[in-house]
Structure 1
Amino acid sequence: MLPLVKLHPAVSQSEENGLFEKLHEIYDQIPETECNRCATCCTVPPPAYIVEFLNMFRYVNKHLPEKWPEFIAGAVRYYFLELVDINQRCPFLGDDRQCQIYEVRPFTCRSYGLMGNGNGEDDLARRNMDKLVVKYREEHGVELPEEIVNFQLPRCQNVRVVNGKNKTPLELIQMLTADIGQLESLFVPMSVVESQYTFMPFVNHLVMSVVSEGARFRRPKVMQEFLANGQSEMLEKYVEKYKRTSF
């Protein structure tokens, strides 16, 4: 959501206002969990707020700057191909199936498996996918693959609470919408925060900052090329171009 030239000023502004410390104070209140680290939940990158993206951006700049070409290349591929290639995964997932930015993973990753069966979320995801099917068919002549359309992230039964700290799922939701929402209001009006307009995966935040609007506009063309040929020359050019982005 933030253009490239505004990333560093936004990080500085966040530091001056103590936003990252406040964010981690919120994270620290989430019940501590453990799991089998199978990375199934990393199939679909979950949404995050701008302040969380900036927290990740600052962390990578400080500790993993050499990883930016890899992360950007993966993010660009995911953004353009997520609706046509079932094999796309979160670009921050390493070859060892471990999260490379685990220390700054967003709230939704930290609270995964704590929010019940999520049937309401499944229904919403289904409706959103149905809208995308119609949109790409009618506006771009792109038929989304059935395996993508019918995909549903399996519910994980392996998340175990280590330290509950007396928190309930409802309190977690309130923490996300109220506490993190308040931090987000430094960048956008509260009405925008409440609309969840800025609530999107790190992948999308990164692509919106790095990739030009003109290139993003060609997303349907890339999808068409990939469906027809199993690859896209246009996408490869974008990957080579944008992975050289310097922060």
Structure 2
Amino acid sequence: MPSIKKDDIQRGIEYSIKENLFESLNKLYNSIPNGECNGCGNCCMESVGANFIEFLNIYNYIQKSKDMKYIIMDRILDYYFLEYTKKIPCPFKDEKNRCSIYSVRPLNCRIYGHWIKEDYEKNYERIKKENIDFAKNMNKNYGINISDEVLNYKIKYCEDFKPSKGYMTKEERMNFYDSVVMLDSKLYSRGIINTTFKDRGIVEYFIESIFYENTSKNIKFNISKDLYKSKAVLNRLKKLILG
């Protein structure tokens, strides 16, 4: 049984439509200032953090196309299970560097270019330290060596993006985050969703809608320890899940 049950997802989607939560989310997205982006796709290299309402919005979107769902889920499985061994682009980025879920992309993607450089670099240094500590813990407790390519990868600050109304302060960014959390709280407070409220990357939401959390982690650990068998194991998983 998956950590995030299909029935809960469906109830969450139906409730979000009925109570206009998706509409409120889109209004929030539309209130974010625009900016000039050259579409290079260099920033689309990780599973960004997202809220549950954003996952439901994306999940609902990709269900409308069987082909899109298959392609995205195939990439999500690669991204998650090979995450410690090789750097893989965001599974929602297509072969032409375009976002396949652009109209429903999460808040983190929408405000990426709006950070001032000083804040961006400070945040990177914090994340870098957390990643190094995480890698040490994985090696000590599980015998897993996270590849240098993954551990040392940095999405460089984008000098090309030009926000239309100037860069956001930390307070302005946090106000957007708080607004999305408020939408999430309506799902949790009404008991619509029977899952733990915690920080997740968008990929993790999809993985936990397929597997129980500990099961997916154990498979991921085993794949990371034995790269020679990883391709065969992953192919069997895909056949089982995707058909």
Q: Same fold (TM over 0.5)?
A: yes
- Contact 1:35–1:159 at 8 Å: present in 2 too? yes
Question: Secondary structure of the residue that 1:96 maps to in structure 2?
Answer: coil
1:12 to 2, 14, 37: 14
Letter in 1 for 2:58: M
The residue that corresponds to 1:235 in the other structure is 234
Question: Where in structure 2 are the equivalents of 1:1-247 lying within 5 Å?
Answer: 2-62=4-64, 64-86=65-87, 88-117=88-117, 118-162=120-164, 164=165, 168-188=168-188, 198-213=198-213, 214-226=215-227, 229=228, 231-244=230-243
Superposed CA RMSD: 2.1
Query: Aligned-pair distance for 1:82?
Result: 1.3
Structure 1 Cα separation of the partners of residues 168 and 221 of structure 2 = 42
Query: Aligned-pair distance for 1:45?
Result: 2.5
Q: Which range moved further: 135-144 or 206-215? A: 206-215
Query: Aligned-pair distance for 1:197?
Result: 5.3
Q: Which range moved further: 231-240 or 200-209? A: 231-240
Query: Aligned-pair distance for 1:176?
Result: 2.5
- Contact 1:142–1:224 at 8 Å: present in 2 too? yes
Q: Structure 1's 197 and 132: CA in aligned 2 closer, same or farther, altered over 3 A? A: farther
State, as a whole percentage, how many aligned pairs show the same letter: 22
What is the number of residues matched between the two proteins? 232
Letter in 2 for 1:79: Y
Q: Structure 1's 167 and 89: CA in aligned 2 closer, same or farther, altered over 3 A? A: closer
Structure 1 Cα separation of the partners of residues 122 and 167 of structure 2 = 21
Query: Aligned-pair distance for 1:217?
Result: 2.2
Q: Structure 1's 177 and 205: CA in aligned 2 closer, same or farther, altered over 3 A? A: same
Q: Deviation string for 1:105-135 (max 9, x for gaps)?
A: 0111111110112123112211221222122
- Contact 1:72–1:242 at 8 Å: present in 2 too? no
Q: Which range moved further: 208-217 or 66-75? A: 208-217
- Contact 1:73–1:242 at 8 Å: present in 2 too? no
TM-score (norm: length of structure 1): 0.86
Structure 2 Cα separation of the partners of residues 238 and 188 of structure 1 = 31
Q: Which range moved further: 50-59 or 175-184? A: 175-184
Query: Aligned-pair distance for 1:171?
Result: 4.9
After TM superposition, the runs of 4+ consecutive aligned structure 1 residues lying more than 6 A away are none
Question: Secondary structure of the residue that 1:84 maps to in structure 2?
Answer: coil
Structure 1 Cα separation of the partners of residues 19 and 218 of structure 2 = 35
Letter in 2 for 1:243: L
- Contact 2:113–2:163 at 8 Å: present in 1 too? no
Question: Secondary structure of the residue that 1:42 maps to in structure 2?
Answer: coil
Letter in 2 for 1:9: R
TM-score (norm: length of structure 2): 0.87
